[in-house]
């Protein structure tokens, strides 16, 4: 039995498998296997209020899962699928409430990774798949990350390093043509706007991501993607001694947990490991989680990263979104 056949057998029996995608590795289960869906939440220790994204093999398959397919969603799918765009749309009764956390909408994505596409096609069913990591922790971008995350207890299909490196852009699409950015990703709001305007498709953006009050899609919680050591953000370079002193003075400000995610507090603050990312947003996204994982496995008490104000919007927005949620402390706030 080859690895793909083994993965299909596990899925058919109601289990979960590690699935490579171009964004990050996912923990996949068939949407028609309730045992598999429950296994996702149990394996990740994920709360049931955080919905899952459903991965499809084609636009035709996506249409069977939503009552809200429109010229606008068709335009978005034609432009960005297969690829790192998730659309949140009204669901059909065929989509389990376990997947949607009781919501009437479902997130749909058609991945471009050839292994993921083959797995979905051969399964004959869409696959629900959040990132293959413990809830609230750093997402995996290699098969080895997944194996280590779950102590080798999850079967993982090898697909090489994820080429994008961060989770998909998530956009909700209403029947009225309203778009709302629920999670930034490698496909930017500006790209989406440009494509739709060029196609003369009617749409309008509503509500900035900061104003979203309830969880409609993954990655919207205040803290997420956290490495094994506390991550500290600062706007400019500092001497280690000055940084450590400022951190010590702020430790009392840190709550024990936010929205059910325990914040990492150092037992002592004596050694720091500085993280550096490339000056290109695409490369920075690709290397972000690998850098967080490697630094988190060091002997340092805390991790630190300089992140200037000008890298908090536009093409940098997605990386900034992950960093601010992964951080235990931002020294500028």
pLDDT score recorded for residue 210? 52
pLDDT in tens, 275-312: 999 999 999 999 999 999 999 898 888 899 999 888 98
Same domain, 199 and 80: yes
Same domain, 159 and 271: no
Of 183-192, 263-272, 285-294, least confident by mean pLDDT is 263-272
> 258: left (phi > 0), else alpha (psi -120 to 50), else beta?
beta
pLDDT in tens, 58-111: 999 999 999 999 999 999 999 999 999 999 999 999 999 999 999 999 999 999
Q: Please count the residues of the chain.
A: 333
More confident residue, 216 or 200: 200
Task: Evaluate whether residue 307 is within a structural domain.
Answer: yes
Task: Evaluate whether residue 221 is within a structural domain.
Answer: no
Same domain, 157 and 293: no
Range of the domain at 133: 3-211
Same domain, 41 and 135: yes
Same domain, 205 and 237: no
> What is the share, in percent, of the chain residues with pLDDT greater than 90?
73
Same domain, 265 and 301: yes
Same domain, 132 and 94: yes
Give the Cα separation of 130 and 41 in Å (integer): 9
Is the per-residue pLDDT at 255 higher than 80? no
Task: Evaluate whether residue 224 is within a structural domain.
Answer: no
Mean pLDDT of the chain: 92
Same domain, 171 and 240: no
CATH of the domain at 180: 3.90.870.10
Same domain, 178 and 290: no
CATH of the domain at 256: 3.40.50
pLDDT score recorded for residue 86? 99
Residue 152 token pair: 């080798």
Pairing of the two strands 26-30 and 127-128: antiparallel
> What is the share, in percent, of the chain residues with pLDDT greater than 70?
93
Same domain, 130 and 243: no
Same domain, 106 and 251: no
Task: Evaluate whether residue 196 is within a structural domain.
Answer: yes
Domain count, the chain: 2
Give the Cα separation of 175 and 69 in Å (integer): 9
pLDDT score recorded for residue 211? 47
H runs (alpha helix) in the chain = 3-12, 34-44, 59-63, 71-80, 97-100, 114-123, 143-149, 189-198, 240-250, 281-296, 317-326
Identify any residues that bridge with 226 across adjacent strands, giving them in sequence order.
137
Task: Evaluate whether residue 223 is within a structural domain.
Answer: no
Give the Cα separation of 308 and 333 in Å (integer): 13
State the pTM of this model. Answer: 0.93
**Sign of the C-alpha dihedral computed for residues 98, 48, 132 and 14 taken in this order:** negative
Task: Evaluate whether residue 237 is within a structural domain.
Answer: yes
């Amino acid at each position: 039995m080859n690895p793909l056949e083994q993965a299909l057998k596990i899925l058919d029996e109601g289990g979960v498998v590690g699935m490579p995608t171009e964004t990050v590795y996912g923990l996949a289960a068939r949407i028609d296997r309730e045992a598999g869906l429950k296994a996702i939440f149990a394996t990740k220790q994920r709360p049931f209020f955080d919905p899952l994204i459903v991965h499809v093999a084609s636009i035709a398959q996506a249409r069977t899962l939503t009552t809200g397919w429109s010229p606008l969603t068709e335009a978005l799918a034609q432009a960005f699928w297969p690829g790192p765009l998730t659309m949140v749309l009204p669901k059909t009764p065929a989509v389990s409430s376990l997947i949607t956390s009781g919501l009437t909408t479902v997130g749909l994505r058609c991945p471009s990774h050839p292994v993921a596409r083959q797995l979905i096609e051969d399964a004959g069913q869409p696959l629900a798949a959040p990132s293959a990591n413990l809830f609230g922790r750093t997402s995996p971008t290699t098969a080895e990350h997944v194996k280590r995350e779950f102590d080798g207890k999850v079967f993982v299909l090898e697909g090489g390093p994820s080429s994008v490196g961060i989770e998909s852009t998530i956009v909700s699409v209403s029947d009225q043509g309203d778009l709302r950015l629920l999670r930034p990703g490698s496909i930017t709001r500006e790209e989406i706007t440009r494509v739709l305007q060029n196609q003369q498709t009617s749409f309008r953006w509503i509500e900035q991501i900061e104003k979203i009050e309830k969880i409609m899609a993954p990655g919207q919680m205040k803290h997420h993607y956290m490495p094994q050591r506390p991550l500290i953000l600062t706007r400019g370079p500092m001497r280690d001694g000055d940084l450590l002193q400022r951190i010590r003075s702020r430790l009392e400000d840190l709550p024990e947990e936010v929205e059910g995610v325990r914040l990492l507090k150092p037992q002592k603050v004596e050694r720091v490991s500085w993280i550096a990312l490339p000056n290109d947003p695409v490369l920075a996204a690709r290397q972000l989680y690998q850098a967080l994982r490697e630094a988190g496995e060091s002997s340092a008490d805390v991790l630190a990263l300089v992140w200037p104000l000008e890298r908090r919007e536009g093409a940098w927005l997605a990386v900034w979104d992950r960093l601010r949620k992964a951080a235990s402390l931002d020294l500028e706030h």
